[in-house]
């Protein structure tokens, strides 16, 4: 299946974020048979107006709404509603498969919402059955993500959030940034060097991947405009040939070449929208999620630092502090170890994903230009041969 991915990556494709789904899943786990693991999915539809950098997330699937509601810059991918997760990071974990697909629209007198089919297949003994099938709403995915982050605050859990155009104003955003920086500086005094390096990497990675995302979207937009313009030239040359008796064959051959180049361009655009753009944008979301992971790690350290400081300066009742500090030290150690282990896995997957996406795109571009070049070379060769034949016939 083309949509197979590692569980560690949990491709964010296919689950609309936000929208009309406002219910709460309650206290019981919404994913029977998932054993704490799930495919967290979402579909982000980008609006690439010149003065708009924010993401716009719609709450309905392309198959369930008018296509004009989506940005013309970002077509839907065949993978947009299918995501099979394979747990392959460890050799002994190749026996758990989770598929999220088949979105369904539900309309009630109160709301309209989407549900998704979740199939879990496994041969592990701790499960009650070898296969489970349920349907869940967006809020159920949010619930699961929240529970996973609560239980494992420093594990890298895929992003699942809503980004809206109408956000806070400039002054409000500046205030939030200042408060966040002040809180960070006040909360964590001695972040270990390895986590300082990790944080610096995340900040630099976020800048670069966001830039790549914007450039990729711009390339796709320009490619779409080029395609829309070029596909008009074929019919124009056909009409032209009707009024030029001496150039009929030549003009029709030009129209045929343009048509073949249009098909090649359309195929290349499809590869760009289905292979490169989703991967790049996924890691834009990962960069935001990684910042959240670092923030949760720092919060644990800040709490530990405050307890140690209170004990050192006897700012409060110190009878219970040693026990609390011991628990926090254990929590901090577990959080650090989990983040370090997950970090290396994530970096390796990220490097492989981005390298593969750009390599595939480069090969697709090479094939595209070779195909277009061969098309026009063939046309020029045939025209040259025709001209030589006509010249030889004119000779006495």
Tally of structural domains, the chain: 2
pLDDT tens for 178-189 read 555 554 445 577
Domain with 140 in it: 92-151
User: Strand pairing partners for 107?
Assistant: 112
Q: Are 311 and 322 in contact (CB under 8 A)?
A: yes
Q: Are 45 and 71 in contact (CB under 8 A)?
A: yes
Does 268 lie in the same domain as 127?
no
Q: Is residue 119 part of a domain?
A: yes
pLDDT tens for 209-262 read 999 999 999 999 999 999 999 999 999 999 999 998 888 999 999 999 999 999
Residue 248's CB is within 10 A of a number of other CB atoms, namely 14
Q: Which of 132, 151, 170 is the last residue of a domain?
A: 151
CATH code for the domain of 231: 1.20.1270.60
Q: Is residue 70 part of a domain?
A: no
Q: Is residue 52 part of a domain?
A: no
Q: Which of 120, 136, 151 is the last residue of a domain?
A: 151
Q: pTM higher than 0.85 for the full model?
A: no
Tokens of 160: 């699942």
Asked if residue 24 has pLDDT above 50, the reply is no
CATH code for the domain of 136: 3.30.1520.10
Residue 24 CA to its chain's centroid (Å):
26
Does 146 lie in the same domain as 248?
no
How far is it between the farthest Cα atoms of the chain? 117
Q: What does DSSP say about strands 4-6 and 83-86: parallel, antiparallel, or unpaired?
A: parallel
Does 298 lie in the same domain as 197?
yes
Q: What is the CA radius of gyration of the chain?
A: 28
Classify residue 16 by its DSSP letter: B
* Band of pLDDT at residue 88, cut at 50, 70 and 90: very low
* Band of pLDDT at residue 72, cut at 50, 70 and 90: very low
| Closest among 239, 237, 243 to 255, alpha carbons compared | 237
What is the Cα–Cα distance from 100 to 30, expressed in whole angstroms? 14
Total residue length of the chain? 396
Task: Give me the percent of the chain exceeding a pLDDT of 70.
Answer: 67
Does 262 lie in the same domain as 133?
no
Q: Is residue 18 part of a domain?
A: no
Does 303 lie in the same domain as 224?
yes
Q: Is residue 228 part of a domain?
A: yes
Does 236 lie in the same domain as 338?
yes
Asked if residue 320 has pLDDT above 80, the reply is no
Stretch 74-83: mean pLDDT: 37
Does 140 lie in the same domain as 201?
no
What is the Cα–Cα distance from 159 to 391, expressed in whole angstroms? 68
pLDDT tens for 339-357 read 999 999 999 999 999 999 9
Q: Is residue 331 part of a domain?
A: yes
Q: Is residue 22 part of a domain?
A: no
Does 194 lie in the same domain as 123?
no
């Amino acid at each position: 299946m083309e949509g197979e991915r590692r569980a560690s990556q949990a491709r964010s494709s296919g689950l609309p974020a936000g929208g009309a789904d406002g219910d709460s899943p309650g206290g019981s786990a919404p994913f029977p048979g998932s054993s704490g693991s799930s495919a967290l999915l979402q579909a982000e539809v980008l609006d690439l107006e010149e003065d708009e950098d924010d993401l716009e997330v719609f709450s309905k699937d392309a198959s369930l709404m008018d296509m004009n509601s989506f940005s013309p810059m970002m077509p839907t991918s065949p993978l947009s509603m299918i995501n099979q997760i394979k747990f392959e990071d460890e050799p002994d974990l190749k026996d758990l498969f989770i598929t999220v697909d088949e979105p369904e629209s539900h309309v009630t007198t109160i709301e309209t919402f989407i549900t998704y089919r979740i199939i879990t297949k496994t041969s592990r003994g701790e499960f009650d059955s070898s296969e489970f099938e349920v349907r869940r709403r967006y809020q159920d995915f949010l619930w699961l993500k929240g529970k996973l982050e609560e239980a494992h605050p420093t594990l890298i859990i895929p992003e699942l959030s809503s980004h809206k155009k109408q956000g806070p104003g400039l002054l409000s955003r500046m205030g939030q940034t200042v408060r966040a920086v002040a809180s960070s500086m006040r909360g964590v005094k001695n972040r270990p060097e390895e986590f300082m390096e990790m944080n610096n990497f995340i900040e630099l990675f976020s800048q670069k991947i966001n830039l790549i995302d914007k450039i990729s979207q711009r390339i796709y937009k320009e490619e779409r405009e080029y395609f829309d313009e070029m596909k008009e030239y074929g019919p124009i040359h056909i009409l032209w040939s009707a009024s030029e008796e001496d150039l009929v064959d030549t003009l029709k051959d030009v129209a045929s070449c343009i048509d073949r180049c249009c098909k090649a361009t359309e195929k290349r655009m499809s590869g760009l929208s289905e292979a490169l753009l989703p991967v790049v944008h996924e890691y834009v979301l990962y960069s935001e999620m990684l910042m959240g992971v670092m923030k949760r790690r720092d919060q644990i350290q800040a709490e530990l630092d405050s307890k140690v400081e209170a004990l050192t300066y006897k700012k409060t009742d110190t009878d219970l502090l040693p026990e609390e500090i011991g628990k926090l030290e254990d929590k901090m150690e577990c959080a650090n170890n989990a983040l370090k282990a997950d970090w290396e896995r994530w970096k390796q997957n990220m490097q492989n994903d981005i390298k593969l996406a750009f390599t595939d795109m480069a090969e697709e571009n090479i094939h595209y230009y070779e195909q277009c070049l061969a098309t026009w070379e063939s046309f020029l060769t045939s025209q040259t041969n025709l001209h030589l034949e006509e010249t030889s016939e004119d000779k006495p």
